Structure 1
Amino acid sequence: MDTISGLITRVKGYHPNSDSGLILRAYAFGATMHDGQFRHSGDPYITHPLAVANILAEQQLDDATIVTALLHDTVEDTRASHADLVREFGPVIADLVDGVTKLTKLQLNSNETKQAENFRKLFMAMSRDMRVILVKLADRLHNMRTIKSMKPEGQQRKARETMDIFAPLAGRMGMQWMREELEDLAFSVLNPEGRNSIIRRFVTLQRESGDVIDKIATDIRTELDRVGIVGEVRGRAKRPFSIWRKMEEKQIGFSRLSDIYGFRVIVATEQECYAVLGAIHQRWRAVPGRFKDYISQPKSNGYRSLHTSVSGRDGKRVEVQIRTRQMHEVAETGVAAHWSYRDGERVENPFAVDPAGWVSSLNEQFDSAQDHDEFLEAVKLEMYQDQVFCFTPKGEVVKLPKGATPLDFAYAIHTRIGDACVGAKVDSVRVPLWTRLRNGQSCEILTAEAQRPQATWMDIVVTGRAKSAIRRSLRAADRDKFIRLGTELARVAFDGVNKRMSMKALATAARELHLQDADELLARLGSAEIQSRQVIGVLYPELATRDSDEIDARAAIVGLEGDAAFERAQCCQPVPGERIVGISRRGKGVTLHAIDCPVLADYEDQPDRWIDLHWHGGTHPAIHTVTFELAITNDAGVLGRVCTLIGAQKANISDLEFRDKKPDFYRVRIDIDLRSVEHMHAVRLALEADQDVVTIARVRDRHRAA
């Protein structure tokens, strides 16, 4: 078990000038505050912050980070306050503890709206001081190491959150060792049988072929000796989760998985890295497409290394990573290297990325996101994906996520270039816009002034920046379209009550409906967010009321017992005049179906739920929505004329959806509010008579059943 004296000794080992008294005081304060508290395992609670501090000491971090680890749960779980910490340890440490406390309270696995907001808070805390997230990651790592003492449902929740959030975050910060351990610990909870099967196969493989790792490592050392390079060779089998993920991605079994062993060669200089690469490729055959040069093109988190895969001893495929000592330190500790100490001095590792830089870029990017889906999409793309490096025709490097396309490349250069993109050349060859770019390729974007983003582009791009730009453009284009359609709907509505439509009338209605202006009113009318009868209702309430002889909607059905609730089935949308039957919803009211609705077949063996009903014979209000799908010619004014024809029949359009737009025609679904089956036939007949309406069909879909 960790002890405070062991922690102080460990810190003194890399930081002789460490303030041991401060660390000891923090431990004593934490022990006092947590006195009487115990973990799920039964251990005294203070063992947890002490273990977290030791994890951070292994990364050779500064005193402030170590002290924060010892105190990180005091404000949340004890009577200690922020003011107490300021008085005892100063404002810097008190603010660090406060930051960790706030992160602990974030519910990162909640609904998307709240999750997006919490992610914003997470990155804001990181931008203030990255050490906050380092302590939080160490806290999560120790919790995962001791997760077996939790209740099963708590284990599942913690493991899923770790796999989805904290492991990718550790990887994005360059702390690959932590990412791999977090993933494997979560894997052991989420899929214990899968993990155990991988381990069993490893044991069988080792029994059959001996210690392959030692043999291959010896072969690599022999090649280093041959070229006169002094270096350190490390080999290991990849972690079970890493192997499982590759099996899932490639859809292959363990026996067909080749590169399950990984080796690292650590040398003194960058020149020796390339010399070792040459020696290894001379000895073994390189696997095509598996070489990556992260030295000349580093990852955005500072990672530098040469990666290659070769067919090693007995034809076994192995991955070899070649790097210098400084590169290795950054590869292991990531942004933590920014605060690392050696012999009492802050280390100035030339490869360590200033963590404030990329976190600030995240915040800037996310601040521009216009909705929660867009923000979460950007988070996941930024945190979870490897990068590829492509070149402009002028030789400038553009970094993109793996799987990016020429369209992503265009938007990465400038939004204007992306919007105007009509084609692309990759390595001087014309390619489709959905082509996946690879490392080192040169990409040239072809543009045209008249081009505008297409809705299909959303399925092509993968970057948050491209998706955001396309959405903005489509929203602007849709707004113009909806304003035109709304204008036609409004005109029909005004004509229906013998009033003249004017911009003044529309502006008055917009004000009454608490909208910005007349254009906003028309756009919402065209997008079916509001209905034309609402507009008429606020301007001419006396004209918007239903006829006095209309049947009240509650009395529309004959045969119901008492005041039983009912609703029309959306699968068949019966209207007054059609034969209907009721299906009891077991204490939740009755659903009305047309007698020929195919869904009724599902209730043939439940005769006790059938209720004999029929419509009242009087005049019904136009509130019964029926969905039609029309194919109409793609000519100017056709859609407006269709809307006019519907309005002329005293019917209201409550929703409109474009389904399939082609150069010569397009399909559109229209929800129309009707009085009766006769009213429906009149509307349908008027539409069928129009020469530009190619087909019209009533939509009856069993998948929409209530």
Structure 2
Amino acid sequence: MTAAGTPVAIDPVALPPYVLALKDQLGYLPAPQLERVLRAFQVGAQAHEGQTRKSGEPYITHPVAVAGILAELGMDAETIIAAILHDTLEDTALSRSALAGEFGETVAELVDGVTKLDKMRFGSRQEADAESFRKMLLAMARDLRVILIKLADRLHNMRTLGAKDAPSRRRIARETLEIYAPIAQRLGMNKIKAELQDLGFRALHPDRYRVISERIRAALGNRREAMGRIETALSQRLNAEHLPARVVGRIKSPWSIYSKMHSEHKSFTQLMDVYGFRVVVESAMNCYMALGVVHGLYKPVDRRFKDFIAIPKANGYQSLHTVLLGPFGAPIEVQIRTAEMDSVAERGVAAHWAYKTDSGPANSAQARAREWLSTLADNQINTASSAEFIENVKIDLFPDEVYLFTPRGDILSLPRNATALDFAYAVHTDVGDHAVAARVDKKLLPLRTRLESGQLVEIITAPSAVPNPAWLESVVTGKARTAIRQYLKHLQHEDAVDFGHRMLDRALDARGSSLDAIPSEVLDRFLHEARLKRLEELLAEIALGNRMPDVVARHLLALRDGQSDDIAPGTSPVHEKIRITGAERGVLSFANCCHPLPGDAIIGYLSPGKGIVVHREECPNVVELRKSPERCVAIEWDHDVQGDYRAELRIEVINRPGVLATIAAAIAAADSNIDNVEYAERDLAAATLLFAIEVKNRKHLADVIRRVRRTGVVSGVYRYPL
């Protein structure tokens, strides 16, 4: 091989037709760069010599076709070269060092990145290889061109899918629809996304694809004259107003028809009874002038106008959308944009790549993609599990956006159904962590309020406010979910360490010692044997039920005294129970079999991974739990207990109209919330109801029971279970 950058004489006559076609496509590249691309073909053809595809064609035809797809997007020479060589590291003897020496380190990194992606196999979004998918997104964050090559590779594989067997076709098609088409959409590459979707649909559901395609052709044949008349009317009116424009009729694809029929429960006729047109003008100002012209030609449909020029979509898409009432009684959907916007809409991050400078991205799609990927990279640092990371990414990959304004006039885009709490975390993590309420269009509303496009949102914060577990049910964005979980994990760890300390001290106290009396070298030795790095980890393990405090105490004392740790358990009486407030996050949970309340006599049971499960002492299950005394923890309620606790009431009533409302009113009058109601038994004369309610303590529950008894419609009220 020649040294990088050395010109190589290429004989055009020796090049096969498919390479000559690629050479013609690459006419936008300078001659020296084109020479490097042709040299890459020679290296690739030599490396893949003797290899064939399933169709029987020489293997090199595939990477050249992938390069051709990228050439249509106007990609730079390094991307084209990497595309031609993208399978060499995995499938041939060519080494990475040889690749870097011939074509430079950037090309070698791109090929290496794509090679790692090729090893991934996805069954579906739910069954995706989460760790591999995570690596793919982080590779995208380093260099977007990696995923562009992969998308082009996938597109050519989909175009030539017929050579595969049926199970492989279905697997690859599902993977395409659920992973790669959404990524293309998120990067603004609508043209590639649409082709991937239709090819995937055809391979996954061939009969449905055929039927819908035939019906589309039939419908277009019947309405070709009507579309022509509308297109002519639009063009003539724009010309009359001296607005140079290109008007093109838009045709819905089989996949978009199928997915809308499925998701919106609409018939084929309802979806096809819409005329679609695109108007391409010279400038953004002309877009708004053209909007006025088309509104003057046909009446606009109320509330069907969207301005994605002033407020671009998350993937950089810009256009004006409006719906008009046409001359044939059917709606006309019109998109108005500039040629630049049209290019970005079709190609997304790949638009004008060849002309991108090092000073920054050339279009809004690139800027927004980099911002999205940067956020993903930041979030993954705080996300321990790959599956959780992918769960957050999926939210970002399938957005249906709302656009919101900050008090400063900045615009934030969030997924549909996002709440004020999502907005708070989108502004900044610190704002989210200390949020207490929101002012939406100057109206004070709770953080769980769902937001709508166009609203002005201001977040009210307080230094004392902190996230709580209920917040996870109020957010939909990955950023908010990650930040809340991170904060709760930190709190849980602090509570676990504190509680574990108390439990271990209690166990040592039963043997006449304490944690302070254990020499540091003994502690270090125990931690080393237990493969724990710090004392805090040991204490958290005890609180979460993964280690028994009595066993740890016995072992520590044995190490201190130089004895075997199989000495008899201590028999010293335990005078003090561990007091709980109920707020020990992640350490305590309350048994559903007996629903303990503050004021009840209670006992704790150490359950591995769950921590202490609290039961009432009279719970029927306690008899069985006491058979494992080493897991039973002596606990009692603290004097000052806050919060609401679940309780259940069994209420026997006279079955007559209005009885349920009467009981509900009595419960509400006692300042209790109702979580759930269900009938346990019911006949013509009587019924038995089970109410799940929230109370503060045993005394509060007694007050609720008294009020329910006074209603006069009940024959019995009992705490359930008894």
**TM-score between both structures, scaled by the size of structure 1:** 0.74
Deviates more, 1:444-453 or 1:143-152: 444-453
Q: CA deviation at 1:324?
A: 0.8
1:10 aligns with 2:34: no
Distance change >3 Å, CA 40–CA 662, structure 1 → 2: farther
| Structure 2 partner of 1:523 | 540
Deviates more, 1:14-23 or 1:644-653: 644-653
Q: CA deviation at 1:241?
A: 1.4
Q: Taking CA–CA contacts closer than 8 Å with sequence separation of 6 or more, which of the two structures ends up with the larger relative contact order?
A: 1
1:306 pairs with 292, 317, 320, which one? 320
Query: In structure 2, what residue type is equivalent to 1:37?
Result: Q
Query: In structure 1, what residue type is equivalent to 2:597?
Result: T
Equivalent runs, 1:259-274 vs 2, <5 Å: 261-274=275-288
Given that 1:338 and 1:349 are in contact with CA atoms closer than 8 Å, whether structure 2 keeps it comes out as: yes
| Structure 2 partner of 1:329 | 343
| Structure 2 partner of 1:619 | none
1:633 aligns with 2:657: no
Counterparts of 2:309 and 2:146, CA distance in 1:
29
Counterparts of 1:283 and 1:438, CA distance in 2:
31
Residue 320 of structure 1: SS of its match in structure 2? strand
1:280 pairs with 280, 289, 294, which one? 294
Counterparts of 1:275 and 1:412, CA distance in 2:
34
1:180 aligns with 2:197: no
Deviates more, 1:502-511 or 1:151-160: 502-511
Residue 444 of structure 1: SS of its match in structure 2? strand
1:320 aligns with 2:334: yes
Q: CA deviation at 1:194?
A: 3.0
Q: CA deviation at 1:69?
A: 2.1
Counterparts of 1:456 and 1:32, CA distance in 2:
61
Given that 1:310 and 1:318 are in contact with CA atoms closer than 8 Å, whether structure 2 keeps it comes out as: yes
1:453 aligns with 2:467: yes
1:651 pairs with 629, 647, 652, which one? 629
Distance change >3 Å, CA 654–CA 240, structure 1 → 2: farther
Query: In structure 2, what residue type is equivalent to 1:630?
Result: C
| Structure 1 partner of 2:566 | 542
Q: CA deviation at 1:491?
A: 6.3
Counterparts of 1:500 and 1:155, CA distance in 2:
69
| Structure 2 partner of 1:58 | 72
Counterparts of 1:330 and 1:633, CA distance in 2:
61
Query: In structure 1, what residue type is equivalent to 2:25?
Result: R
Q: CA deviation at 1:650?
A: 6.8
Q: CA deviation at 1:454?
A: 2.8
Query: In structure 1, what residue type is equivalent to 2:538?
Result: L
Deviates more, 1:501-510 or 1:1-10: 501-510
| TM-superposition CA deviations, 1:646-697 (whole Å, max 9, x none) | 79887344899xxxx99443369xxxxxxxxxxxxxxxxxxxxx97899685
| Structure 1 partner of 2:646 | 666
Given that 1:527 and 1:655 are in contact with CA atoms closer than 8 Å, whether structure 2 keeps it comes out as: no
Equivalent runs, 1:119-198 vs 2, <5 Å: 119-198=133-212
Equivalent runs, 1:597-616 vs 2, <5 Å: none
Given that 2:401 and 2:413 are in contact with CA atoms closer than 8 Å, whether structure 1 keeps it comes out as: yes
| TM-superposition CA deviations, 1:264-303 (whole Å, max 9, x none) | 1110011110011122223334344432222112234432
Q: CA deviation at 1:86?
A: 3.5
Given that 2:626 and 2:632 are in contact with CA atoms closer than 8 Å, whether structure 1 keeps it comes out as: no
Query: In structure 1, what residue type is equivalent to 2:555?
Result: V
Q: CA deviation at 1:543?
A: 5.0
Q: CA deviation at 1:187?
A: 1.5
Query: In structure 1, what residue type is equivalent to 2:85?
Result: L
Given that 1:629 and 1:667 are in contact with CA atoms closer than 8 Å, whether structure 2 keeps it comes out as: no
Deviates more, 1:148-157 or 1:19-28: 19-28
Counterparts of 2:626 and 2:227, CA distance in 1:
82
| TM-superposition CA deviations, 1:578-600 (whole Å, max 9, x none) | xxxxxxxxxxxxxxxxxxxxxxx
| Structure 2 partner of 1:411 | 425
Given that 2:419 and 2:449 are in contact with CA atoms closer than 8 Å, whether structure 1 keeps it comes out as: yes
Deviates more, 1:249-258 or 1:320-329: 249-258
| TM-superposition CA deviations, 1:564-620 (whole Å, max 9, x none) | xxxxxxxxxxxxxxxxxxxxxxxxxxxxxxxxxxxxxxxxxxxxxxxxxxxxxxxxx
| Structure 2 partner of 1:368 | 382
Deviates more, 1:169-178 or 1:1-10: 1-10
- Unaligned segments of structure 1, at least 5 residues: 548-626, 669-689, 699-706
Given that 1:217 and 1:235 are in contact with CA atoms closer than 8 Å, whether structure 2 keeps it comes out as: yes
Q: CA deviation at 1:158?
A: 1.3
Q: CA deviation at 1:443?
A: 0.9
Residue 632 of structure 1: SS of its match in structure 2? coil
Query: In structure 2, what residue type is equivalent to 1:542?
Result: D
Residue 263 of structure 1: SS of its match in structure 2? strand
Q: How many residues align?
A: 590
| TM-superposition CA deviations, 1:442-483 (whole Å, max 9, x none) | 012233444332322212211111111211232234345445
Counterparts of 1:393 and 1:18, CA distance in 2:
52
Q: CA deviation at 1:181?
A: 0.9
Distance change >3 Å, CA 338–CA 268, structure 1 → 2: closer
Given that 2:295 and 2:324 are in contact with CA atoms closer than 8 Å, whether structure 1 keeps it comes out as: yes
Counterparts of 1:243 and 1:398, CA distance in 2:
30
Q: CA deviation at 1:171?
A: 1.5
RMSD value, Cα:
4.0
Distance change >3 Å, CA 637–CA 263, structure 1 → 2: farther
Distance change >3 Å, CA 378–CA 348, structure 1 → 2: closer
Residue 61 of structure 1: SS of its match in structure 2? coil
| Structure 2 partner of 1:423 | 437
Deviates more, 1:218-227 or 1:232-241: 218-227
Distance change >3 Å, CA 492–CA 134, structure 1 → 2: same
Counterparts of 2:183 and 2:532, CA distance in 1:
42
Report percent identity of matched pairs.
39
1:25 pairs with 39, 44, 59, which one? 39
Given that 2:188 and 2:365 are in contact with CA atoms closer than 8 Å, whether structure 1 keeps it comes out as: no
Distance change >3 Å, CA 397–CA 20, structure 1 → 2: closer
Residue 440 of structure 1: SS of its match in structure 2? coil
Given that 2:212 and 2:254 are in contact with CA atoms closer than 8 Å, whether structure 1 keeps it comes out as: yes
| TM-superposition CA deviations, 1:250-271 (whole Å, max 9, x none) | 2232233367553211100111
Residue 299 of structure 1: SS of its match in structure 2? coil
| Structure 2 partner of 1:442 | 456
Given that 2:420 and 2:450 are in contact with CA atoms closer than 8 Å, whether structure 1 keeps it comes out as: yes
Given that 1:634 and 1:664 are in contact with CA atoms closer than 8 Å, whether structure 2 keeps it comes out as: no
Distance change >3 Å, CA 88–CA 417, structure 1 → 2: closer
Q: CA deviation at 1:333?
A: 1.4
Distance change >3 Å, CA 11–CA 302, structure 1 → 2: same
Equivalent runs, 1:38-117 vs 2, <5 Å: 38-107=52-121, 115-117=129-131
1:297 aligns with 2:297: no
Distance change >3 Å, CA 277–CA 480, structure 1 → 2: same
Query: In structure 2, what residue type is equivalent to 1:429?
Result: K
Given that 2:184 and 2:192 are in contact with CA atoms closer than 8 Å, whether structure 1 keeps it comes out as: yes
Q: CA deviation at 1:89?
A: 3.4
Distance change >3 Å, CA 425–CA 249, structure 1 → 2: farther
Distance change >3 Å, CA 87–CA 515, structure 1 → 2: closer
Residue 566 of structure 2: SS of its match in structure 1? helix
Distance change >3 Å, CA 199–CA 401, structure 1 → 2: same
Counterparts of 1:294 and 1:413, CA distance in 2:
21
Q: CA deviation at 1:317?
A: 2.6
Counterparts of 2:169 and 2:233, CA distance in 1:
43
Counterparts of 1:518 and 1:72, CA distance in 2:
50
Query: In structure 2, what residue type is equivalent to 1:166?
Result: Y
Distance change >3 Å, CA 654–CA 7, structure 1 → 2: farther
1:247 aligns with 2:261: yes
